[in-house]
Amino acid sequence: MSCIVLNTKGGSKSTIVVGESLESLGRLCPSNPVIITDSKVFELYGSRFPASLMVLKIGQGEAVKTLETVQGLYGRLLELGGDRSIFVLGIGGGIVCDVAGFVASTFLRGLKFGFAATTLLAQTDASVGGKNGVNFAGYKNMVGTFNQPEFVLCDTGLLATLPKSELANGFAEITKHGCIADEAYFDFLEQNASKAKDLDQEVINALVEGSVKIKAGVVSRDELEKGERTKLNFGHTFGHALEKVAGVSHGQAVAAGMVLAAKLSAARTGLAGKDVARIENLVCAMGLAPVINADRGRVVDALVKDKKRFGQSLRFVLLKKIGRSTVEEIPLDELADFYLSVTG
């Protein structure tokens, strides 16, 4: 078991506990929370939830991450009399965490909340860092707040029921963390790729703990994404475009996006060819594909529509070496030319 404390410059504190079982929620959480979960997680683990005032279930999938779902949850909270002492506990993957965090952050101008993250992506990424929110008008995560959960519990035993494709989404973010911030963590993943995929308890706990430390470190220095936090978008510029156009999973798209970003790094920051090859090999070892075939014109079009665009350029994350990243503003034209040249 390990415990990581995230202190932000704004004075909030969030405690992330890795490797303890769901039953520890009884100790971490105030009594009788309102639980927000999804139908699948409830079916699998509802019998292990702590005693609660109310269990609110949402559906599964990105389509439920909307203001309509949020409104429905506000309505149910209102049935409890608009009580500001309510504690909201989100138990689920990234979608539950994002929705529950947003509902808690906005209902009555803010209720306290915590999470039990149940997917590898939520344990290594989505539950940590205090970003929450929902999709709007076809754009992902358009409406939301920055607000830290009191605690996050990561019970890695729950990952045993997770489909392989969902695990792969987590492995893409784990690879990303090694690339941008920690070569030793990258080495560890290289050496333990098979054990990680087999969910070896010791390896998976070390990976979740390492990822949480990397992300919490970045967020503690730049909670509001004014600078360094942008580095967590490594692989995501091309990744989001590929996800949209090719309709592949987030992890598959980010994996191919990281390989593209590594190749662009070789051209712009002098990332060594052997490091590009290591990233490609690790992506493959984690069961992800290094290249996604997609309609090239539509990918370029999606890049231009990136919501993080600043005028005619994008803040793009490049690697100097494995474990060291930098953010550069790159003209959209150059990104498009690069993409067309490497995929042509």
Ligand X SMILES: NC(=O)c1ccc[n+]([C@@H]2O[C@H](COP(=O)([O-])OP(=O)(O)OC[C@H]3O[C@@H](n4cnc5c(N)ncnc54)[C@H](O)[C@@H]3O)[C@@H](O)[C@H]2O)c1
Q: Which residues bind ligand X (CB under 6 A)?
A: 38, 40-41, 44, 60, 62, 65, 92-96, 98, 118-119, 121-122, 125-126, 129, 131-132, 140-141, 158, 161-162, 166, 169
139 vs 62: CA distance, rounded Å: 11
Cα first-last separation, the chain: 48
Residue among 60 and 269 whose Cβ is closer to ligand X: 60
Query: Smallest distance, Å, CB 145 to ligand X?
Result: 11
Least Å distance between CB 148 and ligand X?
Answer: 11
| Minimum distance of ligand X from residue 48's CB (angstroms) | 11
Contact 146, 133 (CB under 8 A): no
Specify the residue, 40 or 197, whose C-beta has the smaller distance to ligand X.
40
The Cα-based distances of 148 to 10, 30, 50, 86 in angstroms read 10, 16, 22, 16
Which residue, 211 or 265, has its beta carbon nearer to ligand X? 211
Minimum CB distance to ligand X smaller for 148 or for 169: 169
Nearer to ligand X, 62 or 337 (CB): 62
Structure tokens at 172: 């893409």
Phi-psi bin for 330: left (phi > 0), alpha (psi -120 to 50), beta? beta
Contacts of 4 (CB under 8 A, 6+ apart): 15, 16, 18, 209, 212, 213, 216
Q: Are 97 and 132 in contact (CB under 8 A)?
A: yes
Provide, rounded to whole angstroms, the least separation between the CB of residue 180 and ligand X. 14
CB of residue 69 to ligand X, shortest distance in Å:
12
Residue with Cβ nearer ligand X (125 or 275): 125
Cβ proximity of 111 and 104 under 8 Å: yes
- Rounded to a whole number of angstroms, the minimum distance from the CB of residue 112 to ligand X is 18
Q: Which residue is nearest to ligand X (CB)?
A: 94
